[in-house]
Every structure is written in C-alpha cells, then in structure tokens.
Amino acid sequence: MTLPLTAALPARTGVERATLVRRTYGLVFGGVIVTMVGVVFGMTQPALMRAVAEHPFISFLVCLPLPMFLAQRSHRDYPRNILLTLLGTFATGVWLSPLIFVLNASQPGIVGQAGALTLTTFGVLTMYATFSRRDFSAWGGFFIVGLWVLIATSLLNLFFRNETASMWIAGSTVFIFGGLLVFDTWRIVRSDQYGPDDYVPAAIAIYLDVLNLFLAILRLLGGNRRG
C-alpha cells in the first residue's frame, strides 16, 4: 500500500537532502518502534484484540488509512503531522496484535524471523537505491500497476480461498513492495520530488512499504511451515 505525494518544494542542495533523509528515516524507525508498542498494548487487552479480530476491515480503516491520510493533509503542520503519523503507527500495531498473538502461540519464533528478514531486505534494497547510479523513475508506474493487479487478485482470492494462490500473492507482494521501496527510496535520496519539509509523506511511503513486506514475508513463512 502506498500513498500519493502531495505538492513538494524540491530538495536541491546537499544540506536540504541530508535534512530530508535524516527526518524521514528518523520518523520511519520511530514509527516502527511505536508499532511494536501498539502490538504489545493490544496483546494485553483481550477485549480489544477480539474486537479487532471480529471486525478486521473496519478496524483496518480506522487504524491505518484514516490517521495516515490526516497526517498527509497536514504534513507541514508540526507537531500535528508527527503526532498523527505516530498515532497511525500505534493503531497499526493494535490492528496487528491478534495476528501476532496467534502466530506466537502456534508458531513460536516466526514473527522474529519475519522481522529479521524484513530488516535485511530493507537494508539491502535501501543501499541499492541509495548507491546505484540508475534512474528508477520508471519503476513507479510499473509497480503501481502491479499493486492494483495484486489488490484485485487478493480480493478475488477472498472468495476462492486457494492456499496456493495465497502463497503466490504473498510472493508477488514481496516483489512489488520491494520494487516500491527502491522507487520511494530513490525519490528521497536521489530525485527532487520531495522538499526538506516533506518528510512525513516520505516516511509514510517507506513505512507502508516495510509494513507490507513484513506481512508478506510472515505469510510466506507461515505457509511454508504448515506445508
């Protein structure tokens, strides 16, 4: 899942770009930590976990798109932009808590393995996008189209519930969001599409790439273990 970029003042100087990168990744890592706090909080509240599990679609809309959308709308309104972003990441952790709880109980260690693989993938792809001399501007359109195809396929599989198709979808999700991570990283460190004060939409894009990578890797590991 990725969100559109609002109008930005390009970061043209080295100092401005360094400021953008520092603020963006500081907010990304802060958001990941707050998500973990949200998971722990959710797991201590059985009634809340039950409500999230019983109404996953409604809870998803409340937990992720709504606060992220509000953060995008006020992305230069400090500190409201930071607070809304962190609220969204905390709520995402609460939304993930039933899944993490079940997986920890049924397949101990799988969440940690998925987290380690996600971190490794993030590091490798970020380094590639940062130090490669390639122009990744064409990747955006390609992987956005792939994302829409993935969403349509996932919706269809909700009705057919084919386990093999689910594994293929998870693998495709890793591929698509890996590509989007490279593209979004390139936009931050190489292109002039973000200004130094546009770190909130930049951080949200990276956070959503990482979140979807983690969920897809978790799905692949879970499917392989059941197999």
pLDDT tops 60 at residue 3: no
Nearest to 199 by CA among 70, 14, 16, 64: 16
Tell which wins on pLDDT, 166 or 218. Answer: 218
Question: What's the pLDDT tens digit per position in 185-214?
Answer: 999 988 778 888 889 999 999 999 999 999
pLDDT tens for each residue of 75-113: 777 888 898 889 889 999 999 999 999 998 999 999 999
Q: For 43-47, 175-179, 191-195, which range has the lowest pLDDT when averaged over its residues?
A: 191-195
pLDDT for 224: 56
pTM of the model: 0.87
So what's the pLDDT on residue 145?
Answer: 93
Q: Burial, 200: exposed, middle or buried (Cβ in 10 Å; 0-12, 13-18, 19+)?
A: buried
Q: Give the C-alpha separation, 15 to 153, whole Å.
A: 43
Return the pLDDT at 193: 80
Q: In this prediction, what percent of the chain has a pLDDT beyond 70?
A: 85
Q: Say which DSSP state 7 is in.
A: P
pLDDT band at 10 (very low <50, low <70, confident <90, very high): low
Domain locations along the chain: 14-226
Return the higher-pLDDT residue of 192 and 19.
19
Question: Is the pLDDT reported for residue 27 higher than 90?
Answer: yes
Q: What 3-state class would DSSP assign to 13?
A: coil
For the chain, the 3-state helix, strand and coil shares in percent, each to the nearest 5, are 80, 0, 20
Distance between CA atoms of 143 and 71, rounded to whole angstroms?
24
Q: Which of 222, 201, 203 is nearest to 211 (CA)?
A: 203
**Diameter over CA atoms, the chain:** 52
Judged by DSSP in three states, 108 sits in coil
Half-sphere exposure of 9 (CA within 13 A, CB side): 8
Taking a C-beta distance cutoff of 8 angstroms, is the pair 30, 86 a contact? yes
